[in-house]
Amino acid sequence: MLLISGCTGQIQKQTETDSETVTVFFLVEANGKTLLEEIVDAEEESNVLKLLESLTSVETQEFSFGKFVTSIAGVEAGQTHYWAIYENGEYAKTGIEGIQVTNGLQIKFKLEEINM
């Protein structure tokens, strides 16, 4: 019995070191105000959407290309605005589900006007 307990502890210890913890910086701005500014420690396999949902209320709409953020922290984008996503200071090239969590990742959500 002592041998089994020792093996179990070894397996758990190995599992804990398999997933790397990374730091992600979140910033959410709307109408010139900061709604959220948070540094989060997360597992590298985490999803940006799930991390944001753990920090504040988030609403999305499902499309053929993936999820589209419609509301953050109770602020809805409406018909004339949208939630722009910036990844490490640059306009994101993918939707929220396509952004891979990496150490030092900086994510900014900014309510921007739709220009037509």
Please state, rounded to an integer, the average pLDDT across all residues of the chain: 84
Tell me how many helices (H) and strands (E) the chain has: 2, 8
Going by their DSSP bridges, the two strands 81-87 and 105-113 should be labelled as antiparallel
pLDDT at 9 over 70: no
Residue ranges and CATH numbers for the domains of the chain are: 19-113 (2.170.130.30)
Q: Pick the closest to residue 73 from 58, 53, 54 (CA basis).
A: 58
Q: pLDDT tens digits for 37-91? A: 999 998 887 889 999 999 999 999 999 888 999 999 999 999 999 999 999 999 9
State residue 1's pLDDT score. Answer: 39
